[in-house]
Each structure stands twice: as structure tokens, then as C-alpha cells.
């Protein structure tokens, strides 16, 4: 026969099906007796929770699509009709609307666990990359889904984000924008395309999730210790041990999810999206959904153009970084040449930045109309680059120890990185010109006039100096920290961090933990 030997099932119907299509044998091997490290903690629940949320989103989305009308004149009313008139429509919409947020919560925790415990390291690089692909597809699906209700934030959020593609040189304005919008502006053709894509992409996500799980079952799961199982004593069958643990964790997660669905269905949304889309009225503060906010902050943090001086400086710094930070030993350059690279690169980058801020200098090749990369395109590159770095993470962190439990400096770096993501999220939710701290240096009366909003009454020659820390500066500082974590901190830790001694096996570490707890 064409299949491997299998064990029979007691149930005659299951046995009849399995003897002709061994799907139950496959499920038994992959989810029944599949050997799993015996020391999983609660962080390992969120993969199953994310899978449950994906299925919830697909099922509720299919039913909602049966009642939705992809037309700019009818879309908003069709969503309101679902909420008010369709039987159970309010529940379906609340499940779907809040499900997107809870899907991202589960995935973000899942990603944090992968970074903290080193699940991206070999032999699981492809498993990690497939996870990043899923994350990108989720972001695309969520963005176009946010447009479909056709409220004010839907229209203007779509206007801001789609307009970013016009910054791509040569092809953005002429080819990508008409293809994306279906015309010269966001209109009916755009909404129809977004609806079609929003219906299609979840099934693409499901297919990539299948590959993700397949890759997981080839390499096996990582664990909190970051060491491979050495035998049966280090593993447990997935069922019933982890199916029950996953089920319990899922119940707790669903209780929180249900609380938002029934008691605070609009808490995670924006009130402006309950106003019908109006292209003649711009909202005072356009923000995306909360799960996009860190990347939105990175996008807005690039407020300067990249002129030739800055690009030359960044190029020299990139050569320095590859040769002296990423490599364990310099291969092509000496230490003196490295110092020269660092000084020259830093000097050119700072000079280019100052020249961009002070256009009155009139330095050739620094005018805002002559720069190779505009601030707008630079923001787009930074935003997508911040996600692209996740793809190459397995090669940026080459330390032999996986888990942060045995790498104290790496643990601190990951926690600081996580804090920077939260701060970027907050910065993305606030207006760019919001001031957190300010001080006025100069004439006391002039400073008092500025404080009361009477700056126009200050006499010429008596203008004080105002130093302020605004939201853009905060976003720029933590954007720099975000990129430094990947490009500088991780490679340096790979070279210089010693780490603690690893346990010899999983089961010995588990027994030692139990003995310590019982002592």
C-alpha cells in the first residue's frame, strides 16, 4: 500500500475512514502522542489561543460578509444595519471587532515569548520567518478591514496609509497608487478591492499557519530552558497534558475577551469611526488601531530628509557596524581604519542632518527638492524596516544560549526593548506636537507671555529661548533604541555575553525545581 503501517481504531466508522484516508492517524501522531518538552510554562498557551482567535475571526467574518455592502454610499449604513436589525448581528460584530484586538494581543505575547526564550534560533529559523509572514499578513488584513465600516477614521486612516506608497520613487505615484486605489483617490473601487482582499487574506493566513505548524512539528518546540530534549524522560505526549493546559488558558483568555465583547465593545476602537466618512472634514487627530501604533510612531519619527551627506555617513557607519560589531573579528579593516570610519561616518551624518534642518545654509545637494530619500519615504522605509528586522533576527543574535533565563544582559535588553515598544505605542497615539516638558530661558515677562499664549506681544529683540521635549522627539529617541536593539545590542551581546551554565537535561531541571519548591 502507499501509506506506512498504522494502528487500528476501535470505532468502526473512524477505522473505515482512516483505512482509506489516514487523517485520524495523522492527528493522533501530530496532536496525540507528539512528544513535547515537559517544562512548558503559560507563555506556550498563546499559540493555541491565536489559532482559536483566527478561526473565530474567519467564522464571524464570513457571516458578516453576507450582510455587508461594499459601496461608499451604503457601507456605513450596512454596518449599522448589521448591529441593529440582523439577528445576533450586534454579537457578531462585537466578536469580530474586538476579536481583531485580542488576536493581536495573543500574537504579540506569542512573539515576545519567541524573542525572550530564543525560539528564533536554529534549527527553527524558518519557523520564525513563517511567523513573521503571518504577522505581516495580519497587519495587512487588519488595516483593510478597518477601512470597511467607512467611518471617518476608516476613510482618513486609509488616505494617510495608502498615500505612503506614493513616496516610493519612480513607481509609487504612477503605478502602485492607481493599482491600490482603483482610481485617482479613495472611492468605491478602493472599498470594493479592500473588501475582496479582506475576505481572501484570512485564508492565506490560515495556509501559512498550516506551514508554520508543519515546520514546528519538524523541528519540535523550544522550551523555557532553551535546550533540546535528550530522550523520553524530557518529554510528555501533547494530549492530554497540553491540550488540557491550552484549554484552561483559553478559557481564561476568553473570559477577558467576552468582558470586552459584552461590556466594553467600543473601548478598543475610535469614536470618530461612528461618524460616516466625509472627505470634506478631516479629523483633528488621525490614528490607526492600537496594534499599529508603535509602527505608526516610527513612521512619524522620520521628520528629516536623507541628503547625500547623510546617506554617505550612514553608509560608512554601516560598513563599521558590519566589520566591527557583527563580526567576531574584523576581516578587512584595522582598528585605526575602524575609528576613521566611525568618526567620518558620524560627522557626515550629523552634518547632513544639520544641513537639512538649516536650509538657509544653501549647501549643494541638501535642498529638500534635491534629496534622494525624502522624509516621507524615509518614514516608510523605517516602518517596514522595523518589521523586516524580525526576519533576520536569527542571524543578528548568534549567541549559543537560547533562553534569556541564562543570559542576564540579554534579559535586560529584551525587557528594555519591550518597554520601548510600549512607549512608541503611546507616542503613536498622541499628536506629534504634544509637549511633555518645556523650559523658557530669557526675559521673565516674555516667558510669561509665551506661557499665556501671548507670544505675538513680545517685543523684537526680547524673544526668549524655549527648550521643549515634544512627542516627535520621544518617538525619535525610542525609534533609535528599537533599531539599536537589533543592529547593535544583539550582535554585541552575541560576542561578549558569557551567560550562565545550562542544565544537563530538561527532566533534571524540572526535578531540581520541584525539590527546591518542596524544601
C-alpha cell at 391: 526576519
Point out the catalytic residue in the list 80, 217, 398, 470: 217
Q: How far apart are CA 236 and CA 36, in angstroms?
A: 5
Contacts of 398 (CB under 8 A, 6+ apart): 491, 494
| Chain centroid offset of residue 247 CA | 26
Residue 349: Cβ within 10 Å count: 20
With vertex at residue 376, the alpha carbon angle to CA 374 and CA 381, rounded to the nearest 5 degrees, is: 90
Q: How far apart are CA 196 and CA 188, in angstroms?
A: 12
For residue 35, list its beta bridge partners: 237
C-alpha cell at 274: 461612528
Three-state DSSP string of 368-434: CCCCCECHHHHHHHHHHHHHHHHHCHHHHCCCCCCCHHHCHHHHHHHHHHHHHHHHHHHHHHCCCCC
Cβ-contact 57, 107 below 8 angstroms: no
Point out the catalytic residue in the list 29, 67, 239, 245: 245
* Residue 221 is among the residues annotated as catalytic for this protein: yes
C-alpha cell at 224: 523555557
Point out the catalytic residue in the list 289, 399, 403, 507: 289
C-alpha cell at 491: 550582535
C-alpha distances out from residue 132 to 5, 110, 113, 127, 419, Å: 36, 11, 14, 9, 20
Q: Are strands 35-37 and 235-237 parallel, antiparallel or unpaired?
A: antiparallel
Contacts of 260 (CB under 8 A, 6+ apart): 98, 101, 102, 267, 268
Point out the catalytic residue in the list 221, 386, 403, 420: 221
Residue 84, burial from CB neighbour count under 10 angstroms (0-12, 13-18, 19+)? exposed
C-alpha distances out from residue 289 to 49, 273, 292, Å: 21, 11, 6
Sign of the CA dihedral 240, 243, 249, 252? negative
Burial string for 33-48 (b: 16+ CB within 10 Å, else e) reads ebebbbbbeebbbbbb
* Residue 470 is among the residues annotated as catalytic for this protein: no
* Residue 323 is among the residues annotated as catalytic for this protein: no
Q: How far apart are CA 430 and CA 422, in angstroms?
A: 13
Category of 442 on φ-ψ map: left (φ > 0), alpha (ψ -120 to 50) or beta: left
Point out the catalytic residue in the list 18, 246, 272, 356: 246
* Residue 230 is among the residues annotated as catalytic for this protein: no
* Residue 217 is among the residues annotated as catalytic for this protein: yes
Q: Which residues are catalytic?
A: 217, 221, 245-246, 289
Amino acid at each position: 500500500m502507499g501509506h506506512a503501517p498504522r494502528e487500528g481504531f476501535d470505532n468502526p466508522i473512524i477505522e473505515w475512514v482512516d483505512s482509506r484516508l489516514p487523517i485520524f492517524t495523522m492527528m493522533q501522531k501530530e496532536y496525540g502522542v507528539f512528544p513535547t518538552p515537559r517544562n512548558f510554562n503559560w507563555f506556550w498557551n498563546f499559540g493555541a489561543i491565536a489559532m482559536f482567535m483566527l478561526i473565530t475571526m474567519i467564522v464571524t467574518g464570513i457571516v458578516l460578509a453576507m450582510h455587508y455592502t461594499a459601496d461608499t454610499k451604503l457601507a456605513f449604513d450596512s454596518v449599522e444595519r448589521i448591529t441593529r436589525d440582523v439577528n445576533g448581528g450586534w454579537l457578531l460584530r462585537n466578536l469580530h471587532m474586538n476579536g481583531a484586538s485580542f488576536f493581536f494581543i495573543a500574537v504579540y505575547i506569542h512573539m515576545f515569548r519567541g524573542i525572550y526564550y530564543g525560539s528564533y534560533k536554529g534549527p527553527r529559523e524558518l519557523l520564525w520567518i513563517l511567523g513573521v509572514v503571518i504577522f505581516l499578513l495580519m497587519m495587512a488584513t487588519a488595516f483593510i478591514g478597518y477601512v470597511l465600516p467607512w467611518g471617518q477614521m476608516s476613510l482618513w486612516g486609509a488616505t494617510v496609509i495608502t498615500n505612503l506608497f506614493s513616496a516610493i520613487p519612480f513607481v509609487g505615484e504612477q503605478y502602485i497608487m492607481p493599482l491600490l486605489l482603483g482610481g485617482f483617490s479613495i472611492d468605491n473601487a478602493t472599498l470594493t478591492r479592500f473588501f475582496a482582499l479582506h475576505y481572501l487574506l484570512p485564508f492565506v493566513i490560515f495556509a501559512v499557519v498550516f506551514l508554520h505548524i508543519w515546520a514546528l512539528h519538524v523541528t519540535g518546540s523550544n522550551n523555557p530552558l532553551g535546550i533540546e530534549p535528550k530522550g523520553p524522560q524530557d518529554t510528555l505526549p501533547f494530549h492530554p497534558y497540553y491540550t488540557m493546559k491550552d484549554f484552561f488558558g483559553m478559557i481564561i483568555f476568553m473570559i477577558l475577551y467576552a468582558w470586552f465583547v459584552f461590556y466594553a465593545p467600543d473601548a478598543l476602537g475610535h469614536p470618530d469611526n461612528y461618524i460616516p466618512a466625509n472627505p470634506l472634514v478631516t479629523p483633528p487627530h488621525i490614528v490607526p488601531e492600537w496594534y499599529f501604533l508603535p509602527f505608526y510612531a516610527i513612521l512619524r519619527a522620520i521628520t528629516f530628509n536623507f541628503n547625500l551627506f547623510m546617506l554617505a555617513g550612514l553608509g560608512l557607519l554601516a560598513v563599521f557596524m558590519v566589520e566591527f560589531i557583527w563580526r567576531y573579528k574584523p576581516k578587512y579593516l584595522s582598528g585605526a581604519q575602524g575609528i576613521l570610519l566611525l568618526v567620518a561616518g558620524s560627522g557626515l551624518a550629523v552634518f547632513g542632518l544639520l544641513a537639512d534642518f538649516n536650509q538657509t545654509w544653501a549647501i549643494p545637494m541638501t535642498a529638500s527638492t534635491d534629496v534622494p530619500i525624502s522624509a516621507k519615504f524615509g518614514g516608510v522605509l523605517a516602518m517596514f524596516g522595523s518589521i523586516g528586522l524580525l526576519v533576520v533576527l536569527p542571524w543578528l543574535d548568534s549567541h549559543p544560549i537560547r533562553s534569556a533565563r541564562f543570559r542576564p544582559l540579554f534579559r535586560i535588553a529584551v525587557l528594555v526593548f519591550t518597554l520601548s515598544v510600549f512607549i512608541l505605542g503611546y507616542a503613536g497615539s498622541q499628536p506629534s506636537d504634544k509637549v511633555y516638558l518645556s523650559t523658557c530661558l530669557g526675559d521673565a515677562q516674555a516667558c510669561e507671555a509665551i506661557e499665556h499664549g501671548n507670544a505675538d506681544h513680545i517685543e523684537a529683540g526680547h524673544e526668549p529661548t524655549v527648550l521643549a521635549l515634544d512627542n516627535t522627539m520621544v518617538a525619535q529617541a525610542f525609534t533609535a533604541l528599537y533599531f539599536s536593539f537589533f543592529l547593535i545590542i544583539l550582535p554585541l551581546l552575541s560576542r561578549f555575553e558569557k551567560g550562565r551554565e545550562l542544565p544537563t537535561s530538561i527532566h533534571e531541571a524540572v526535578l531540581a525545581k520541584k525539590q527546591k519548591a518542596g524544601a
